[in-house]
Amino acid sequence: MPSVKELAQKPIPLVGGHRACAGCPLPIAARWVMASSDKPVVACVATGCLEVTTTIFPYTSWNVPYIHVAFENTAAVASGVETALKALKKRSRYNGDVNVVAFAGDGGTYDIGLQALSGALERGHKFVFVCLDNQAYMNTGIQRSGATPRYAHTTTSPAGDVLTGKPQGRKNIMEIVAAHGIPYAAQASPSHWKDFLLKAEKAFKADGPAFLNVLIACNLGWGFEPIETLEISRLAVETCFWPLYEIENGVYRINYKPRHKLPVEEFLKRQRRFAHLFRPENRHLIEAVQTEIDAQWEDLLRKEAASASKASPS
Amino acid sequence: MSAVAQRMLIEIRWHARAGQGAKTAANILAQAALREGKYAQSIPEFGPERRGAPMQAFNRLSDEPFYMHSGITEPHIVIVVDPHLMDTIPVTDGLKPNGWVIINTPLPPEEAQERWELKPYRVATVDASSIARETLRQDIPNVPLLGAFARVTGLLSLETLQTDTAQRLEKRFRDRPQVIEANLKALERGFNEVRWVDAKTVEVVTEEPVRIPTRGWKELVEGGIIPEPATSIVYRTGSWRLERPVFDPQKCVQCLMCWLVCPDSAIVLENGKVVGIDYDHCKGCGLCSLQCPPKAKALNMVLEAELDEK
């Protein structure tokens, strides 16, 4: 992994002047991913906050070749770019060496973009798909998505007299992606930059499709102050709400195990989307969340232990 | 006092930051106008920008039906919710001579007129932020501004505005009548505490307003392609900032953590070393100051308002 000092020598892949909210980690994550590539990158970006805020015509914040695509076909377009480059090489019309990266939000990954992603993973294109998971459709005004956690308030799962936020849990996108048997899938958070950069680097080096699921703490949709962005992301990791792990050729590895796992309440109480859980009549729901998180963490530990035998002795 | 002529279409433009309640205020204003038998519109205008970004909202009021639904470029009245916008946004762009500029500021109107070069316009000032902090315990200046608007323009009565404000809040704060009470108080104080001056000159300012260059359709590249990279750098997002990080090079240990986490790529490096901050793009989120090692503390957040005073 290149050091921060080495990264600072590289051209900035995403420049300022974009119009993301103050403190939004989207541009940070996009920059870190692209900076981790050892080759020039082509970025394919789905509709969403990242696209809308960085490419307000006639301006662009992207310092790399960039193609905007619809919600549903990010992975399909990335496949096309990768294949076109191969075809051009075969005909000796282009002999450069580039990486293809696709960025999509949780809407463009868990929900609308799922079939294109599944197809691209199954065909085995060599590209990196980055899901920037802010856990709802933030760009259109905080509607619930397949990535919204249980009991989170969104405008389409409002907490009130009838609902206590979203009744359903989150899709396990990592398992869905890993079930395609791709060489590399990992979950990362901008709060842990070394882990993040290592994973992005591994993803680009993978022999085939790679997937990164990145937590994007949204100050508007989750309800916290911009300065708290990285702290909230850290709490997501420390409470095992967002475990940092990777699945490399079927082998699970948890990259960070909190020494003292914090109660999930510490993560929930900092966000207005969960504020209703702290009313006396809803306190039991916090316990339900804790039980669910514990079960998921145990499950992950079991998977790591079970797949350890598969790992090569190296 | 009702100096804005009746029986005509009155156009009002609000300047605020996304999240300051200008949309709500414009809504209340239109509702109140409807109650008084007028025809009214309320239109918020958001770009793809996010919280903290400058935004506009529009109102049209008329005694007769009207059919325009566009944004407002030549308003009769401009209401500025955030005084910091006075220095960065051409708020008087297209404002009719002798039109009103109503500003949320503690400055007396004479001084505001002088400081922001508003001589061709009538200027009203009210310290709406302080009123809001005292009555609502939060800096939500939109409600006192509505009171000030009613007073100086005479277009709406205070009573109608109070009825509409109360109605709007009733559902949300039915368990907390004191919130509604506080809002009505804020409205009334805005009405009573606003001060104003007449226009000093009625000549039109001919100087071209600062506009971000846009391209005509003839210059567009086919397919909407943007042929050069990283062009957004000419767009300045520094005006979004409420706090600014101040850099102390003496204390910096050059760990580059601020550079790594800055969402706006606004940490300036020279030969791989941090040398300062690009205030044209820094949005003041504060992430850099939080990443700065506690032992170094080379980056500290300072309120922009305090810097203004100095």
Reported as a single tens digit per residue, the pLDDT across A145-164 is 999 999 999 999 999 999 99
Residues B270-300 pLDDT 10s: 999 999 999 999 999 999 999 999 999 999 9
* Residue A12: pLDDT over 90: yes
Nearest by CB: A17 against B50, B281, B285:
B281
Are the Cβ atoms of B237 and A19 closer than 8 angstroms? yes
Scanning B241-260 for CB atoms below 8 A from A yields 241, 255-257, 259-260
Whether B43 and B126 map to the same domain: the answer is: yes
pLDDT at A267 over 60: yes
Mean pLDDT of B232-242: 87
Q: Hey, are the CB atoms on A56 and B47 less than 8 Å from each other?
A: yes
pLDDT attached to residue B95: 92
Q: State the smallest CA–CA distance between residue B290 and chain A in angstroms.
A: 8
Residue B213 in any domain: the answer is no
pLDDT of residue B88: 79
Alpha-helix runs per DSSP H in B238-302: 257-261, 287-291
Residues B244 and B190 occupy one common structural domain? no
Residue B184 above 60 pLDDT?
A: yes
Between residues B89 and A136, which one has the greater pLDDT? Answer: A136
Domain assignment of residue B31, yes or no: yes
Q: Is the pLDDT of residue A308 over 90?
A: no
Nearest CA in chain A to B280: A17
**Predicted confidence (pLDDT) at residue B6 exceeds the cutoff of 50:** no
Q: Taking all residues of chain B, what is their mean pLDDT, rounded to a whole number?
A: 88
Asked if residue B240 and residue B189 are part of one domain, the reply reads no
Q: Determine the Cα–Cα distance for residues B254 and B22; give it in Å rounded to an integer.
A: 42
B20 and B152 share a domain? yes
Look at residue A61 and tell me whether its pLDDT is greater than 50: yes
**What pLDDT, on a 0 to 100 scale, did the predictor assign at position A303?**
96
User: Which residues does B260 contact at the CB level (< 8 Å), separation at least 6?
Assistant: A4, A7, A28, A32, A193, B291
B-chain residues within 8 Å CB-CB of A230?
261, 287, 290-291
If asked whether residues B157 and B17 sit together in one domain, one would say: yes
Among the partner residues B50, B231, B259, nearest to A8 by beta-carbon distance? B259
The pLDDT of A104-108, averaged and rounded, is: 97
Q: pLDDT band at B202, cuts 50/70/90?
A: low
Residues of A in contact with B230 (CB under 8 A): 12, 15, 60-63
Q: How far apart are CA B154 and CA B279, in angstroms?
A: 41
Mean pLDDT of B56-66: 93
CB–CB contact A59 B226 (8 Å): yes
Indicate the DSSP class of residue A182: -
State the total domains in chain A: 1
Nearest chain B Cα distance for residue A264, angstroms: 23
Domain-ending residue, one of B150, B176, B197: B197
Residue-wise pLDDT tens digits, A24-58: 999 999 999 999 999 999 999 999 999 999 998 88
Residue A190: count other Cβ atoms within 10 Å of its Cβ. 23
Tally the C-alpha atoms within 13 A of residue A192's C-alpha that lie toward its C-beta: 23
- Over range A56-77, report the average pLDDT: 94
- Nearest C-alpha neighbor of A128 from the set A197, A204, A70: A204
Distance CA A78, CA B62 (A): 53
Shared domain for B141 and B22, answered yes or no, is yes
| CATH code, domain with B31 | 3.40.920.10
Q: pLDDT-derived band of residue B212, with 50, 70 and 90 as boundaries?
A: low
Residue B5 has pLDDT above 60, yes or no: no
* Mean pLDDT, range A72-80, rounded to an integer: 97
**Is the ipTM beyond the 0.90 threshold?**
yes
Query: What is the enclosing helix (H) or strand (E) of B26?
Result: helix B22-35
pLDDT at res. B308:
67
Mean pLDDT of the region B97-121: 93
Range of the domain at B295: 236-309
Among the partner-chain residues A7, A25, A63, the one whose CB lies closest to the CB of B230 is A63
Q: How confident is the model at residue B45 (pLDDT cuts 50, 70, 90)?
A: confident
On whether both B190 and B273 belong to a single domain, the answer is no
**Averaged pLDDT score across all residues of chain A:** 95
Q: Which of B197, B227, B260 is the last residue of a domain?
A: B197
| pLDDT surpassing 80 at residue A186 | yes
Q: Distance from B279 to chain A by nearest Cα, in Å?
A: 11
Is a pLDDT exceeding 60 seen at residue B134?
yes
CATH of the domain at A113: 3.40.50.970
CB atoms A227 and B286 under 8 Å: yes
Q: Is B175 in the same domain as B248?
A: no
- B209: cis peptide before it, omega within 30°? no
Residue B212 lies in a domain: no
Contacts of B235 in chain A (CB under 8 A): 17, 19, 56, 59
Q: Which of A19-23, A80-84, A117-121 has the lowest mean pLDDT?
A: A19-23
- Is pLDDT above 80 for B103? yes
Residue B210 in any domain: the answer is no
The Cα of A49 is separated from the nearest Cα of chain B by a number of Å equal to 9
Which of B146, B180, B197 is the last residue in one of the domains? Answer: B197
Cis geometry, peptide bond prior to residue A58 (ω within 30 degrees of 0): yes
pLDDT at B2: 43
Average of pLDDT values for A176-204? 97
pLDDT at B224 over 90: no
Q: What is the mean pLDDT of residues A180-189?
A: 98
Question: Which of A63, A193, A227 minimises the CB distance to B260?
Answer: A193
Residue B204 lies in a domain: no
CA distance A295 to chain B (A): 33
What are the φ/ψ torsions at residue B141 (nearest 5 degrees)? Answer: -75, -5
In whole angstroms, what is the distance from residue B149 CA to residue B26 CA? Answer: 11
| Contact between chains at B220 and A26 (C-beta distance less than 8 A) | no
Q: Give the count of domains, chain B.
A: 2
Residue B207 domain flag: no
B141 plus B88 within the same structural domain = yes
Within a domain: B151: yes
Do the Cβ atoms of B237 and A24 come within 8 Å? no
Residues B31-39 have a mean pLDDT of 93
Q: Please tell me the predicted confidence (pLDDT) of residue B60.
A: 95
Cα torsion angle, A22, A105, B49, A11, sign: positive
A229 vs B223 pLDDT, higher one: A229
Name the token pair of B308.
């203004």
Query: Is the pLDDT at B205 greater than 60, yes or no?
Result: no
User: Band of the pLDDT at B203, cuts 50, 70, 90?
Assistant: low
Distance (Å, whole) CA A135 – CA A216: 8
B275 within domain boundaries: yes
pLDDT attached to residue A309: 79
Q: Which domain holds residue A223?
A: 4-310
